[in-house]
Every structure is written in C-alpha cells, then in structure tokens.
Amino acid sequence: MTEPRFGIEEEYFVTDLHTRRMAGAPSPEAREACKKAIGASFASEMFQGQFEIASPVFTDFVEASDYLTGARQTLNKTLEPFGLGLLCAGSHPLADWREQIPTDEPHFHDLFDTYGHVARRSVLSGLHVHVEVPEHLDRIRVMNEVLPWTPLLLALSCSSPLWDGASSGYKSYRQAACDEWPRMGVPPLFADQQAYDEHIGFLTNTGVISQPSQCWWGVRPAVRYPTLELRMTDACPRVEDALTLAAFFRVLVAHACRQPQPGSAYDASARWILEENRWRAKRWGLDGKFILAGQDSPCSISQWLALAKARFAETAEDLRIPALFERANRIINGGTSADRQLAVFSQALQQQPGPRSALSQVVDHLLEETSRS
C-alpha cells in the first residue's frame, strides 16, 4: 500500500527557570533566537509565552523522531542563556491566564476581540498530526471512518489535569476548556465532502467565519494541505508518546483509505457514542469506561486497545510500525502524563510544602520529561 506522508505540530510553554512560572513575555531577543534556531518551522501562538513548531513532511518515524528530539534540544539550548526552559504539556501547572500577554499579531487580536475571556483563558497546548489522504478519496468519508476511535487517542494523550493552581478533576482539562469555544470538539455529522463544503460556505456567507480554518474541530480536513488533521490530543511531554499517537492516527487514516466505503457506518448513533466517549476520555483518561456499538456494557481502555489491534494490526505492519500497539500499551501500563503529574503533586502535598511548592515540583517533572531525548 502507499504509505501516507504526515506532519506533526507541537505547542510549548516557555517557562521561567527561577520562578517555574509560564513566562508572560519572554524577551524579544529570546524569541528571535528561537525563531532563528528553528527556521521556517517556528510559529507564534496566541500568547507570547507560547510557541509552536510545525514539522517538515515525513515519510517515516525515524525522521519524525530525529526531528522532534532535535527541535526540543535546540529550543532548550537556545532558551537556557535567557533563564528559560521548554515545557510541553496540555496545560502549565503554574500558568496564570490573567498574567499572559497576547501575541501582537492581527490574527490573535481578532480572536481576543471576538471571544473575550474564552480566548484569554485558553492557555493550552495541543499535539496536532496531519496525515495525507489520496486526492481521489473523499476526505470527509475518510474522517467519518476515523472519528469513532479518536477518544482512544485522547485518553492516551491526557496531560492537562492541573488548572489555575489546583487539580481540575479532569485528566484533560484542555478539552474541557476547548468546549467553551464554538466549532471545537466533535465536528457535525457530514455525509461527504460536498456536505462539508456547503456547510463551510454557509458559515462564510453568513459571516460566522471569515475563513475555513476558524472551524477548530478535533479532527478536520486541513485547509492548506491534502490531509486530515488530528487536533483533539494534548501536547505530550515525552517525545515517544507524541510519536506513538502520531503513528496511531496515521494507521487509522491509512486503514480508512483502504475501505471500499469509508465512513458508511458512521451515523447519528455513532456520533452520539463518540461524544460520550470523548467526555469520558477527557474526564477520566485511562481510567474511563468506554461505550462501543453493539456491546451491552462499557469496556476498559485496555479492551478498547485490544479491539484496535485486532482491526488495524495488518495496516500497522504494512506501514512498518508493528510495535505500535505495544507502545500504546506501555502508555496504559505506565500511565499518561496526567497520571504522573497528579502522582508528583499528591506526593509533594503529603510532604506539606504547600500547593505552590507542590506545583513547582510538577513543573520540574515536566521540564525534565520535555528535555529528555
């Protein structure tokens, strides 16, 4: 089979190594140094203390691993003389959204003007994965085939349990915060590309959006590339976890492209199940119990992964990533970043240093995981 090309986008928090807080406004010199070090892959984010790298197009995961590892090392090395470090997670344990300074670009000014506090509070970082879809296929039908499995990826990625100085009760508070925005979460039910294009045309013609990229659904057809884009997953401190999720999404898309009628089983009932599973994934992560069509009782994350392996193992073999499900199982056995963060936080609180000190220990933990090659 043709191996689909792919790309990865990671969002990072710039962190003051003295205070352990998210940097409200890193110096222009620090930002320019990072931009120069990374080159065209460097991109601004909504807040000055945040930025993104958008990878080149990859054909295999050796390239992807080398690039992500190298980019993180380069950024950390560049930031260190300024007393700053790189933190990759869905939320920053010591970020105060009230202190964050918007990036001075027209696009971001428009977001803050339009969405107010919803935008101001979105101090969040995601992992985005693009996977190529052959031109002759209907991307929306392929998306419909993939969508029911995406809460499994979300559960594996959870890394935002701490928010506004406390445990949020969610393993992915980032996804809970995303639900404050319009046109995020699960996309509406579209039969095919034509239905999708008509919907985007309606939103544009009525002034709801000014461009298609203002639909920020958890999976969407990319505007600039012939890809499907995964946006639901949290940013991952560990490079190997980010690569596992990217590989998983690539396998899902490749498998969907193989089907004679991709998305034919995706209907209103399947979408309802998807919505419920997404909620369970963001609330409980790996501890969630998930609903599957045709089954009378919910299943565990391990049972769901076993079903995924039975269905997608052949595609994973064809894409030369046969260890995918073993790697995903290691995440389940070892816990997500959210689980590790909460363990560090709980242990620190038992030593009675106070919440601020306990959160600092979580930041140190995340800085170390982000920098580990």
pLDDT in tens, 214-258: 999 999 999 999 999 999 999 999 999 999 999 999 999 999 999
Q: Closest Cα to residue 3, out of 50, 57, 55? A: 57
In this model, does residue 1 exceed pLDDT 70?
no
Chain centre distance of CA 36 = 25
The span from the CA of 100 to the CA of 112, in Å, is 12
Q: What is the pLDDT of residue 124?
A: 97
Q: Alpha-carbon distance 97 to 89, whole Å?
A: 15
Q: Are 281 and 288 in contact (CB under 8 A)?
A: yes
The residue extents of the domains of the chain are: 6-371
- b/e sequence 9-41, b meaning 16+ C-beta within 10 Å: bbbbbbbbeeebbbbbebeeebbebbbeebeee
116: pLDDT confidence band, cut at 50, 70 and 90? very high
CATH number among 3.90.550.10, 3.40.1280.10, 3.40.50.720, 3.30.590.20, domain 6-371: 3.30.590.20
Residues 6+ apart with CB under 8 A from 68: 8, 10, 55, 239, 242, 243
* Strand pairing class (166-167; 42-44): unpaired
Q: Which whole number is the average pLDDT over 329-357? A: 94
The model's pTM: 0.96
Per-residue confidence at 341, pLDDT binned at 50, 70, 90? very high
For residues 168 and 48, is the Cβ–Cβ distance under 8 A? no
pLDDT of residue 295: 87
Q: In whole angstroms, how far apart are CA 108 and each of 37, 38, 44, 116? A: 24, 22, 10, 11
pLDDT range class, residue 373, cuts 50, 70, 90 = low
